[in-house]
């Protein structure tokens, strides 16, 4: 059965939700398809300090709760499932694992996904912090030295010992995060550690790093890889890729938020993208109405 919708939004992070809420303010309904939970990467965030209106910062978890309340207030329609294919033939066909939709306009706000090493994908190795943010009294190793690595460390250090492994001599994280790390005795950073391998047992994960001219072993309970992310666009059919410029120029397809913004992955930017996109959709609908 093909379910018809005027506007479908792929992704329930700040970009997708902002689009849906702004459209609702224009009395335009849309459907968000989200494979996991609303809030996007905010669920990983220790603290968001550059979102206007929160001068003391706000935890990612609290901001997600407020976003969900905002969705409930506007009665945003959300379908929880994973999109596996989006095709185009005069209209968009969106396939999820259980249902199929048809839509005139698609907004892709699917965000990013972590770069995963297929070799290391056991129950003790993770690529997102939210999956183990509630564990206690563990030793957790984080491989990476950017914002994500230090943000994850600050989240986990409340109840655990955290080891950050940096392959270089300098940290790549935001200075504010670095200052918070310096005041946290539960986090230790190791520099010039080049990752070599992991050995997983029933109880521990042995992480092996090359340091100078020798190898060092570190025993941990869990390992998190925080070594980069990539756009989540694997569901796009070739029919769309071939007409991408036409579809975007004609305001039938919008690709917004983290999935499109490269290193400028910020919740405030994504939300702004969503509001702008909704305004463009409203203008397009009005022009079509005026012509009819």
List pLDDT tens digits, range 154-211.
Answer: 999 999 999 999 999 988 888 989 999 999 999 999 999 999 999 998 889 999 999 9
Does domain 125-225 correspond to CATH entry 3.40.50.740? no
Pull the structure tokens for residue 206.
């042995």
pLDDT at 123 over 90: no
What's the CATH class of domain 2-114+229-291? alpha beta
pLDDT, residue 243, reads 93
Q: Residue ranges of the domains in the chain?
A: 2-114+229-291, 125-225
Instruction: Tell me the pLDDT band of 263, cut-offs 50, 70 and 90.
Output: confident
Share of the chain above pLDDT 90, in %: 86
Averaged pLDDT for residues 281-287: 92
The mean pLDDT of 103-125, rounded to a whole number, is 90
Report whether pLDDT(225) > 80. Answer: yes
> φ and ψ at 140, to 5 degrees?
-125, 125
Question: Using CB atoms within 10 A of its CB, is residue 9 exposed (0-12), middle (13-18) or buried (19+)?
Answer: buried
- Whether the CB-CB separation of 239 and 87 falls below 8 Å is answered with yes
pLDDT confidence bin for 276, thresholds 50/70/90? very high
Q: Do domains 2-114+229-291 and 125-225 have the same CATH topology?
A: yes
Report residue 116's pLDDT band, with 50, 70 and 90 as the boundaries: confident
pLDDT band at 248; cut points 50, 70, 90: very high
Q: What angle do CA 148, 149, 155 make, to 5 degrees?
A: 85
């Amino acid at each position: 059965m093909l379910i018809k919708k005027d506007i479908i939004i792929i992704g329930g992070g700040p970009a997708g939700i902002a689009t849906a809420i702004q459209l609702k303010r224009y009395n335009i309904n849309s459907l968000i398809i989200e494979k996991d939970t609303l809030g996007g990467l905010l669920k990983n965030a220790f603290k968001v300090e550059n979102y206007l209106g929160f001068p003391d910062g706000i935890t990612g978890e609290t901001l997600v709760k407020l976003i969900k309340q905002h969705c409930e207030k506007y009665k945003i329609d959300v379908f929880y499932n994973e999109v596996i294919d989006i095709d185009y033939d005069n209209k968009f066909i969106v396939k999820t694992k259980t249902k199929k939709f048809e839509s005139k306009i698609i907004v892709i706000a699917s965000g990013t996904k972590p770069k995963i090493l297929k070799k290391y994908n056991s129950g003790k190795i993770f690529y997102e912090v939210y999956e183990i943010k509630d564990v206690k009294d563990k030793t957790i190793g984080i491989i990476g030295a950017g914002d994500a690595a230090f943000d994850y460390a600050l989240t986990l250090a409340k109840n655990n010992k955290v080891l950050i492994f940096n392959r270089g001599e300098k940290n790549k994280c935001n200075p504010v995060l670095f200052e918070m790390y310096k005041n946290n005795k539960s986090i230790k950073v190791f520099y010039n550690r080049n990752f070599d391998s992991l050995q997983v047992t029933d109880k521990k994960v042995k992480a092996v790093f090359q340091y100078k001219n020798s190898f060092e072993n570190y025993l941990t309970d869990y390992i998190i890889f925080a070594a980069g992310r990539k756009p989540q666009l694997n569901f796009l059919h070739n029919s769309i890729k071939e007409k991408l410029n036409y579809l975007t120029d004609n305001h039938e397809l919008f690709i917004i938020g983290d999935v499109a913004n490269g290193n400028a992955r910020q919740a405030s930017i994504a939300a702004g993208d969503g509001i702008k996109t909704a305004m463009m959709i409203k203008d397009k609908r009005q022009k079509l109405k005026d012509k009819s």
